[in-house]
Amino acid sequence: MSIHVGDLSMEVTLLGPCRNPSPLALSVEDDDFIPNYLEDEAKVLYTSMHDRQVPDVTEAFEAAGPRRQIYFDPRKIKAGVVTCGGLCPGINNVVTAIVNELINEYKVRSVVGFRYGYAGLVASEGYETWDLTPESTRNWNLKGGSMLGSSRGPQSPEEMLDTLEQLNINVLFTIGGDGTLKGARAMFEAAQSRGSRIAIVGVPKTIDNDIPFINKTFGFETAVAKAAEAIQAALIEAEGAPRGVGLVRLMGRHSGYIAAHAALAAGHVDVVLVPESPFALEGPNGLYEVLERRLQKQGHAVIVVAEGAGQELFDENDVSRDASGNRKLNDIGRFLGDRLIDHAKALKNPVNLKYIDPSYIIRAMPASPTDAIFCRRLGENAVHAAMAGRTGLVVGLWSDHFTHVPLAAATSHSKRIDPDGDLWRSVLQMTGQPPRMV
């Protein structure tokens, strides 16, 4: 059955018929105290009350989970794992879960780890691969960062596919964000063109939580918890000085989910600035006036800003790009700090501003317990998908159910806060800031 959300097909590509019995020894009967296999036809309903990016629909995703019949013979295949992009809490947890599920449960005999992102799949880069086993990855889940290493930068999908074929890799798990998933999609399309029967399955890694058709991504909860601690520190600093201002810059290139959720979790935040809601410095509802009114009322203030907010305030000619081709963001945190200090000095009413940027500390943190559980289940479901011959997809979470989202849909746009929605309404109600700071 063809499944669509708006104009996007949610139909998952199969490598071929599944004729091998699964080695998982699960059940097909209810109430026998043995977990069940998932029916091939199982779906997770998609509904949208208000989504301006995707029209209202009543369609479904393919549900993720173990199938009774699988495509690959586990004894005859070789799997690969790669981690790409910026660091994020939980990467090692996902790798460990994939390795354990492949070897301990499906009895796959060989799992290869590619070093330093997609660069590790290009022979000319010269990076060696690692043999991954439950023993060699033991305790990886307790560590932050990526034990396999990571990198940014576009690599030729044809060259990466050549490497997979030369190493006889049948399944590749890609752990990464938007750029990584676009690279996985390019490899998937190249494999389809060649007729290569290689399963390419993604696990979404973006600390910003901005992948569409996925409720949340791993590491987000850990990031929010640590960001809330930074906001509390900023509040303490602000309260301890006359006209004290705590300014916290958080992750969020195109979406302000971490800034919004962390501010709500911490409380006592006076202004939240996100990419989805433009703001001005001057004017009756500009940042200068909003801050001054708050300082006069309570003597201190806390501002939380996402890294992608306010980029329109910079010179449009001052643009550079990173190795992946992404625009390098100007430092809105330091920019605002300098402007707020200078403006207050010009008014002969200075502020005591403390600037906190915990971004790299947050990115390198180990996963929280809840995130660790989530990572484990994402990794397990990624393996179930690949072994059942699914390819060109990312494993997601929707309405508390794990799903298969085609890479084309997952890379179709970035998920962002709806300024008309209830999340942003909660932020505005907590802060008391004007809805339009322009």
Catalytic residues: 208
Return d(Cα 4, Cα 129) in angstroms, integer.
39
Return d(Cα 294, Cα 414) in angstroms, integer.
33
Q: Strand 244-250: give its sheet, edge to edge.
A: 271-273, 300-306, 244-250, 352-356
Contacts of 435 by beta carbon, 8 Å cutoff, 6+ apart: 428
Tokens representing 246? 């705590």
State residue 435 phi and psi, 5-degree precision: -60, -35
Long-range contacts of 361-364 (CB under 8 A, 24+ apart): 361/226, 362/89, 362/207, 362/222, 362/223, 362/226, 362/227, 362/250, 362/251, 363/86, 363/87, 363/88, 363/89, 363/144, 363/207, 363/223, 363/251, 364/87, 364/144, 364/145
Contacts of 33 by beta carbon, 8 Å cutoff, 6+ apart: none
Burial classification of residue 398, based on how many CB atoms lie within 10 Å of its CB (0-12 exposed, 13-18 middle, 19 or more buried): buried
Q: Which of 280, 296, 276 is nearest to 288 (CA)?
A: 280
Tokens representing 88? 């994020």
